[in-house]
Amino acid sequence: MADQEELPKTRNLSLLSFQTALCIVPPRRLWKDIDRLRSLYDQAYGRWPPHINLIYPFVPTDRLLDISRLIQEKLNSLSRSPEHQNISIQSGPAGYFRNRGGNTVHLTLNDRAADQLRHLRASVLDALGHHGKEERDYCPHLTIGQTKADVDLRDFLLDKANMLPAAQWDLDHLVILHREKGFGGSSVSKMVIWDAIDLSGNNMSTSEELTRLYSGMSLHGLDAEVNEPRSSTEQMTTYEYSPGDHSWCPITEPLLEPINVRSNNFTVSTYNVLAEFTSSPPRDRYEALAHNILSSNAVADVLVLQEVCDNFLLFLLSHKDIQRRYPFVSHGPPGQGGSPPLPSLRNIVVFSQWRFTWAWLPFDERHKGAAVVKIDGIGDLKSSLPVVVAAVHLTSGLNDAAVDSKLSQINSIIHLLDDDYHSNPSVIAGDFNFATSQEVIDEALRLKMISPVGLEKVLGFDCLLSKAHFMDGWVVAGEEPEGAGIHSRVGEGEQGATFDPILNPLAAQNSVNGRPQRYDRIFVRQTGKTSVTDFNFFGLRHALKGENQQLSEFASDHWGIRAGAQIGDSLIESKASELVSQETLPQLTSVPDTLSSLDEVVSSLEDSSIPPGEEDFKSRKTVVATLSQILTEPIHDSSGRDIKTPLVLIPVGSYGLGTWGPRSDVDCLCIGAISSTTFFALAIQRLRRASALGIRIVRKVKAATGIMLELQSGHIKLDLQYCPAANIAERWREVSRIPSHDPIFDLSLHSLSKLQPYRDQEYIKRMVPDMYVFRLAHRCITQWAKSSGVYSSKFGLLGGIHITMMLCRLHQLIHEKFGRVTVPELVAMFFHHYAHFDWKNNMVVSPGVQTRYRRSLREPMVILTVHVPTINVARAVTTPSLRTIVSAFKRAEELMGEDGAKWSNILNDISISHINQTGAEKFLAAYKSYIKVNVQYWGPSPTQASSLIGWLESRFFRLLNDLDRQVLGIHGLGLERMSDAVNTAANKEETIRTLHTAIDQFTASLNEEDRYFDSSVCWIDATLVKQAELGELKLDSRNWGGQAGLDHMVSDFSEDDDEGDDPDDEQEVKNALQEEGHLGGRSKPHSKNAPLSSNPVSANKLRPAADVISRLRWDPKIDFGDYLVGYEDRFLGVKEMPLSRWKSEQTDEEFIPQHRIVYFKRKSDGRRVWDRKTRKDEIFGSGAGGYD
């Protein structure tokens, strides 16, 4: 009874207060798109949140506490009723109410939600003593805005509202709003949340869920008022075109890896496209506008459009050339795929070739603001700061109020750029609507449309921007519109006009005074390192030669303009010095629908196990990090202080570019301040000491460009090279952003050669338009090349570096000419372009890179590196191997043209008609005769067998060159007669004789190379056989050489026999560092050949050489073929030979007494394991030392 008495009396409860409301407020996540329209069209925006009124007006303020409890009780009793459970709110089509002086446009609800809200409202009214009141008249809705009593304006806003993404949420609470006067210290009243009640009847005053749903709102009475500092800008969503889905998708997730600034040259275009003032604008100008936007004079990195309407944006976003050229845009297709409509009648829309983020800077005037765009990938290379473009369309008019508005808007932009982007390269582009014609300005002053103060402001507009260090691109370039000389009545301030009523009849229709004006501008901030490099007009009447032009032939009442700018020094010698001829420029290749799917490309690669898996990524990342930790560990001197020697480890090659596969090696480059000899001594010492971490030394090899260590960790192989360059090591993160002419690159040829892979790698990462597309296309081409039998650089065919440079060049040229391409398109164009490339007269050179390289007659294919020293990476390619490569390209073209072609067939080089035939089987069936090389090996060492096979393979291209030079008509590895060869009996007999002679000479030359050929353990013979005599052959999948393997050309790499002994302990390395000046103290002069340390000689007996030979030969844990024996020749001094060739029998002709043995040496790292002179023994631990 007591509780019942406490309940408020409701019989005479008034529902006439406009200070309170019971309503439904959608979750905060749904406000953004709705409020974008409400902020422009709803008079209640800022005073009311988006809402659906349940009861308004509501109860007096002093009754809210009691009424809240009453509603809780009622909702608690209703929560057990099925009809009041699971209320789902979903917006329906837009509607409108007629009211005094205009219309109210709103969103309706679907029928089920509307009925549920009517029942809920009736129940609440019943609890308040108003049973059956206004139930039939209640129409739940969410207000969007108001318009005047004009049908076109009403329909315009209705169209906008209908394009809003459908709002849907589950209703679980009601909200009581209360009008709070003087909100935020102003005189404006505002409806704030007083209380919230969930549908189960519980009060939500202390609920964290309520705070989360309405974060940022003032929650009156809930002690949850949020006073967050408001930013002057609102972050907006960027859209990207997805070729796979054929749709524009919002970018909601940040990139996994940050985008580095790739270019410091950029272009910006701006174009006012002339909005139509009807709800369904005509489309007769759309094609002409698109033609102008895509013309060669207009395409730019960033395109700023003004006066864009929803229909025109839909047209542009559905245009295939726009999708390709500008894959990033500030607004999605209105009303499609969840994209909201453009907010205003005249809208700013920004297109870009590069990914960007952007924010909206609203001005005081409704419908006016600036799009502040930050372009990823373009900017200052040294500071890595991206360029910022402020896209504007300022208030029109020539009166004091309009001038003040324009100046206020410009000042807002300048302040924002100064505060938030002070150091960024900045551009302000768009329609400034500032009158420039002196005749018009004087007339406005005479008619008192503008005051003398306003006149000073108009004339001081350029000065305002100049003080902020912004320079007008047109003023700098001094460019005039093409055809401006058609009329000679150009007055002061009318030069360079972009709005010209004299030449443009569309401008004449919209002009008040009929004089040309330079409304459209591009201002570039001049910070001492930014300069305008180019300026031009587009959208002119260049195609119209006569005087009588039709109105429909003009796309807009404005001309468009484009400006180019450069920030700092260029990283390349010349920006536009493309060296390819017009005949070799790529052409856009159409891809059949059956091959256009990206998913099929990825699936085909996965079926071939080409892309690395997650475990592959983790394992390689761990191995590289471990290697870096081992090598870059600080060195301490005798007093424990660190020796400051900058040393960095950088992945290069396929792993550095991200084009690697599960079976790829990991190439690593160390850059430091110490000498190469000291570095490798230090590296070998540390790797041995840290052998427990799983990285072991396979061998130490000496290449033409220096020393290299082959390493292995599990199944992962690594190649470690070193570049001595102290300044580079200290500033290695900046290397990719430093111009080539900087003194930091004044290095020796050896250091530049070592550094070149890293510099070229960073260039490719910076210049390739889309690394994801590039990497996927690279893997496709690599898989195809392997399947086609043209992937082997040591045979003069394609390798990873060839594909990288060819693909990089093509990708840049395609992007410059056509815009973005998909993976299938890029691969198809790769095959087509290089199948018809003029290899004889042209070279593959990266666009914009000048070179003085002069090819020799022995270079049928030239693919040049980017940075000095300029190297032809295809120098091993021969004329016959080039023919093989080109024929493979043409075959790939044919496979793509087959009916029903699939990527699985193309990448595996399988024709639809011969679906089960492998590449090896095709090769064995393609030619009439072959050269068969027989190899027999019976030695004990798998490493020696591996070296033998690698050496033999490296000599094959010598045989092919001889055959191509001596025997007319020989092609590739199979012997195929060329079409122009004369086929007579005499010629045939002479050819066969010459062929046999060349084969015999090849075999004899192999037998003479005793460094690799040992007749006591191997035998090699080559013969000419017919196809029928081949028998059944299959590819040898065995891993020759066990763990050691051999992946390099023996002609390029050889064992480091001539290197001196590496320092044996840490003290010797420290001594070497002191001699190089990396330690304190004075270094003593010493002889180059003097030992690095003098260890005392032990009195322990040294095990004899015979014991060492037996141990090395018979211990199963030791690779016998990995050792050399050094002996003293009576006439030539100390010589070396493989231990496998050492003869112990005195009756053997090659017998050498064992007392002449001086040392035993390991070939893989050049380390002496037994030395008679120093009494060193690492095999048994006898003599002066044991195991290190």
| H-helix or E-strand spanning residue 1136 | strand 1133-1138
What are phi and psi for residue 44, nearest 5 degrees? -90, 0
> Would the pLDDT of 170 be above 70?
yes
Determine the Cα–Cα distance for residues 167 and 174; give it in Å rounded to an integer: 17
Radius of gyration, CA atoms only, the chain? 40
* pLDDT given for residue 725 in this prediction: 92
Q: 869 preceded by cis ω (within 30°)?
A: yes
For residue range 637-670, list pLDDT tens digits in order.
666 666 677 899 999 999 999 999 999 999 999 9
User: Is the distance from CB of 339 to CB of 330 less than 8 angstroms?
Assistant: no
What are phi and psi for residue 568, nearest 5 degrees? 75, -165
How would residue 348 be classed by pLDDT, with cut points 50, 70 and 90?
very high
Taking the mean position of all CA atoms in its chain, how far away is CA 227?
39
Determine the Cα–Cα distance for residues 952 and 1022; give it in Å rounded to an integer: 12
* pLDDT given for residue 1066 in this prediction: 56
* Domain ranges (residues) in the chain: 2-213, 234-567, 593-637+655-695+733-906, 918-1055, 1095-1188
> Would the pLDDT of 573 be above 70?
no
Determine the Cα–Cα distance for residues 391 and 304; give it in Å rounded to an integer: 6
Q: Which CATH architecture has domain 234-567?
A: 4-Layer Sandwich (3.60)
Segment 1145-1158 shows an average pLDDT of 80
Determine the Cα–Cα distance for residues 593 and 828; give it in Å rounded to an integer: 13
* pLDDT given for residue 879 in this prediction: 87
Residue of 123, 127, 104, 103 whose CA lies nearest to 115: 123
> Would the pLDDT of 116 be above 80?
yes
For residue range 412-423, list pLDDT tens digits in order.
999 999 999 998
| H-helix or E-strand spanning residue 510 | helix 505-510
* pLDDT given for residue 218 in this prediction: 54
* pLDDT given for residue 844 in this prediction: 94
> Would the pLDDT of 809 be above 70?
yes
> Distances in Å between the alpha carbon of 27 and those of 168, 210, 211, 663?
10, 9, 11, 51
User: Is the distance from CB of 662 to CB of 616 less than 8 angstroms?
Assistant: yes
> Would the pLDDT of 1063 be above 70?
no
For residue range 615-632, list pLDDT tens digits in order.
999 999 999 999 999 999
User: Is the distance from CB of 220 to CB of 237 less than 8 angstroms?
Assistant: no
Contacts of 911 (CB under 8 A, 6+ apart): 895, 898, 905, 917
Taking the mean position of all CA atoms in its chain, how far away is CA 527?
28
Whole-prediction pTM: 0.73
Q: How many residues does the chain have?
A: 1188
Segment 956-977 shows an average pLDDT of 64
Q: Which CATH architecture has domain 2-213?
A: Alpha-Beta Complex (3.90)
Torsion of CA 409, 412, 417, 420, to 10 degrees: -150
1108-1114 long-range contacts (CB < 8 A, ≥24 apart) are 1108/1160, 1108/1170, 1108/1177, 1108/1179, 1108/1180, 1109/1139, 1109/1142, 1109/1144, 1109/1154, 1111/1179, 1111/1180, 1112/1139, 1112/1160, 1112/1179, 1113/940, 1113/1139
* pLDDT given for residue 235 in this prediction: 93
> Would the pLDDT of 592 be above 50?
yes
Report angle CA 1037, 1041, 1042 to the nearest 5 degrees: 80
* pLDDT given for residue 541 in this prediction: 66
Query: CATH for 918-1055?
Result: 3.30.70
Question: Looking up tokens 């030791």, which residue turns up?
Answer: 1118
Query: CATH for 593-637+655-695+733-906?
Result: 1.10.1410.10
> Would the pLDDT of 298 be above 90?
yes
* pLDDT given for residue 451 in this prediction: 94
* pLDDT given for residue 1067 in this prediction: 56
How would residue 557 be classed by pLDDT, with cut points 50, 70 and 90?
very high
Contacts of 322 (CB under 8 A, 6+ apart): 290, 293, 294, 316, 351
> Would the pLDDT of 1054 be above 60?
no
* pLDDT given for residue 1079 in this prediction: 52
Give, as one character, the DSSP assignment of residue 1026.
Answer: E
> Would the pLDDT of 207 be above 80?
no
Question: For residues 516 and 1065, which has the higher predicted lDDT (pLDDT)?
Answer: 516
Interstrand relation of 974-975 and 234-235 (parallel, antiparallel or unpaired): unpaired
> Would the pLDDT of 17 be above 60?
yes
Name the least confident of 308-312, 891-895, 978-982, 1172-1176: 978-982
Segment 826-842 shows an average pLDDT of 94
The percent of residues in the chain predicted with pLDDT above 70, rounded, is 81
What are phi and psi for residue 177, nearest 5 degrees? -100, 145
The percent of residues in the chain predicted with pLDDT above 90, rounded, is 45
> Would the pLDDT of 1092 be above 50?
no
* pLDDT given for residue 6 in this prediction: 47
Question: For residues 586 and 274, which has the higher predicted lDDT (pLDDT)?
Answer: 274
Determine the Cα–Cα distance for residues 1042 and 967; give it in Å rounded to an integer: 39
How would residue 693 be classed by pLDDT, with cut points 50, 70 and 90?
very high
What are phi and psi for residue 268, nearest 5 degrees? -130, 130
User: Is the distance from CB of 751 to CB of 725 less than 8 angstroms?
Assistant: yes
Name the least confident of 437-441, 579-583, 894-898, 1022-1026: 579-583
How would residue 789 be classed by pLDDT, with cut points 50, 70 and 90?
confident
How would residue 766 be classed by pLDDT, with cut points 50, 70 and 90?
confident
Question: For residues 738 and 869, which has the higher predicted lDDT (pLDDT)?
Answer: 869
| Average pLDDT over all residues of the chain | 83
Question: For residues 955 and 382, which has the higher predicted lDDT (pLDDT)?
Answer: 955
Determine the Cα–Cα distance for residues 188 and 169; give it in Å rounded to an integer: 31
Q: Is 976 left (phi over 0), alpha (psi -120 to 50) or beta?
A: beta
Question: For residues 382 and 368, which has the higher predicted lDDT (pLDDT)?
Answer: 368
For residue range 33-60, list pLDDT tens digits in order.
999 999 999 999 989 999 999 999 999 9
Question: For residues 500 and 261, which has the higher predicted lDDT (pLDDT)?
Answer: 500
For residue range 463-503, list pLDDT tens digits in order.
999 999 999 999 988 766 655 444 556 788 899 999 999 99
Determine the Cα–Cα distance for residues 282 and 292; give it in Å rounded to an integer: 18
Most confident among 87-101, 975-989, 1063-1077 (mean pLDDT): 87-101
How would residue 257 be classed by pLDDT, with cut points 50, 70 and 90?
low
Segment 118-122 shows an average pLDDT of 91
Q: At what angle do helices 771-788 and 879-897 cross, to 10 degrees?
A: 110
Q: 739 preceded by cis ω (within 30°)?
A: no
> Would the pLDDT of 1183 be above 50?
yes
Name the token pair of 228.
């967050």
> Distances in Å between the alpha carbon of 269 and those of 506, 522, 708?
21, 8, 50
User: Is the distance from CB of 1045 to CB of 1039 less than 8 angstroms?
Assistant: yes
Determine the Cα–Cα distance for residues 862 and 846; give it in Å rounded to an integer: 12
